[in-house]
């Protein structure tokens, strides 16, 4: 793991344990990225416009384009308090883990590099996290230009969460945590979980220590881009099993039922970044062949 020593920071980037001080910042934002030069500027600009100040921790997960230069230039132009980390071990879990090691704040948000965050995003998350027993806040996906549709989506999300309160209803692009609780729960650790759906698995561990809450004003907007999620998501059966069993049999569901199924489909964490529109076809095929050799199908 490499660190950008030119980042704007009053603390040494080599420190790895949080220190409680009177000036401990309230927010950090983790932004892992891989070949996201076309979307990083928009995302960083939206984070720079937040009503709550935050330290932006960008984690380059081995990009082969100029994403790192774009991220650095954008943060410098905006005068952001930021840190740029390079995590060469592939996979979103490894990238998030590298970023979490650098967090010194009370709260941390995990944000996607191709997602827009409204100016009140962190403030809305903080309102939820300040409530008793709330250890994680979840943001739903919405169209930033359609306020009426956004209100309907927010109302629907809150109703769903009340109906199924012990489950995760949002993805990693829209999650915010109490840092101390996240670390106590194991954080982002590839030894615990190194598959896709890491955003649901980490919430399972967090909910052993508190609740997850949502609000109509906590939303974000993924970029209108080509997406290939069918190959890296759970099946209908797995989704139904999650709804039925996760609240009471979460450990069994994730570690005995889901993990072997994802392993058999070779859906490790790095699969998230192996989308055809991000990687040249010949390089993509080489990576898939290498992954298939490393994770042979069992039985």
Q: Within a 10 A sphere around the Cβ of 162, how many other Cβ atoms?
A: 9
289 burial type by CB count under 10 A (0-12 exposed, 13-18 middle, 19+ buried): exposed
d(CA 210, CA 203): 10
Calculate what percentage of the chain has a pLDDT beyond 70. 80
d(CA 106, CA 129): 10
- Position 17 pLDDT exceeds 70: no
Where is mean pLDDT largest: 17-21, 110-114, 249-253, 266-270? 110-114
Give the pLDDT score at 232: 67
Tell me if 284 sits within 8 A of 274, measured CB to CB: yes
Give the pLDDT score at 138: 97
Rounded to an integer, the average pLDDT of 267-279 is 64
**What one-character DSSP code corresponds to residue 114?**
T
Tell me if 73 sits within 8 A of 105, measured CB to CB: no
More confident residue, 114 or 249: 114
Give the pLDDT score at 229: 52
Mean pLDDT (the chain) is 85
More confident residue, 123 or 163: 123
- Helices 40-48 + 67-78 axis angle, to 10: 30
- Position 103 pLDDT exceeds 80: yes
Domains of the chain: 2-226 (3.90.550.10)
Calculate what percentage of the chain has a pLDDT beyond 90. 72
Rounded to an integer, the average pLDDT of 269-283 is 54
pLDDT by residue (tens digit) across 175-230? Answer: 999 999 999 999 999 999 999 999 999 999 999 999 999 999 999 999 887 655 55
Q: What phi, psi does 216 have (nearest 5°)? A: -60, -25
d(CA 123, CA 146): 21
Q: Per the structure block, which two tokens stand in for 18?
A: 């949080």
Give the pLDDT score at 5: 44
Where is mean pLDDT largest: 141-150, 185-194, 286-295? 185-194
pLDDT band at 9 (very low <50, low <70, confident <90, very high): very low
Q: Per the structure block, which two tokens stand in for 291?
A: 């992954």
Q: Which run of H or of E encompasses 42?
A: helix 40-48
Q: Which residues pair with 56 in a beta bridge?
A: 29, 82
Rounded to an integer, the average pLDDT of 124-144 is 96
Rounded to an integer, the average pLDDT of 19-37 is 81
**What one-character DSSP code corresponds to residue 296?**
P
Q: What phi, psi does 211 have (nearest 5°)? A: -115, 160
Q: Per the structure block, which two tokens stand in for 264?
A: 């058999």
Where is mean pLDDT largest: 58-72, 151-165, 215-229? 58-72
pLDDT band at 255 (very low <50, low <70, confident <90, very high): very high
Going by C-beta distance under 8 Å and a sequence separation of 6 or more, which residues neighbour residue 248? none
240 burial type by CB count under 10 A (0-12 exposed, 13-18 middle, 19+ buried): exposed
Give the pLDDT score at 247: 78
Q: Which of 94, 105, 36 is nearest to 65 (CA)?
A: 36
Name the CA radius of gyration of the chain, rounded.
Answer: 18
Q: What is the pTM of this model?
A: 0.84
**What one-character DSSP code corresponds to residue 3?**
E
């Amino acid at each position: 793991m490499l660190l950008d020593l030119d980042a704007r920071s009053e603390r040494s980037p080599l420190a790895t344990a949080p220190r409680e001080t009177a000036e401990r910042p309230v927010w950090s934002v983790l932004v892992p990225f891989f070949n996201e030069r076309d979307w990083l500027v928009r995302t960083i600009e939206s984070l720079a416009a937040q009503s709550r100040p935050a330290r932006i921790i960008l984690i380059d997960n081995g990009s082969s384009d100029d994403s790192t230069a774009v991220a650095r230039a954008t943060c410098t132009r905006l005068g952001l308090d930021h840190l740029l980390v390079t995590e060469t071990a592939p996979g979103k879990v490894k990238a998030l883990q590298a970023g979490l090691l650098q967090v010194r704040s009370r709260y941390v948000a995990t944000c996607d590099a191709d997602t827009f965050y409204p100016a009140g995003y962190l403030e809305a998350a903080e309102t939820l996290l300040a409530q008793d027993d709330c250890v994680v806040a979840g943001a739903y996906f919405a169209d930033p230009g359609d306020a009426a549709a956004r209100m309907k989506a927010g109302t629907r999300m809150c109703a769903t969460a009340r109906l199924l309160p012990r489950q995760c209803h949002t993805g990693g692009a829209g999650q915010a945590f109490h840092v101390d609780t996240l670390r106590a729960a194991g954080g982002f650790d590839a030894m615990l979980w190194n598959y896709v759906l890491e955003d649901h698995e980490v919430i399972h561990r967090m909910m052993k220590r508190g609740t997850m809450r949502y609000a109509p004003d906590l939303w974000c907007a993924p970029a209108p881009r080509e997406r290939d999620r069918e190959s890296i998501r759970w099946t209908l059966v797995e989704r139904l099993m999650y709804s039925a069993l996760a609240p009471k049999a979460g450990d069994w569901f994730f570690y005995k039922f889901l993990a072997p199924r994802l392993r058999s489909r070779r859906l490790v964490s790095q699969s998230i970044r192996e989308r055809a529109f991000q990687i040249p076809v010949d390089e993509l095929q080489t990576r898939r062949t290498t992954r298939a050799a490393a994770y042979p199908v069992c039985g």
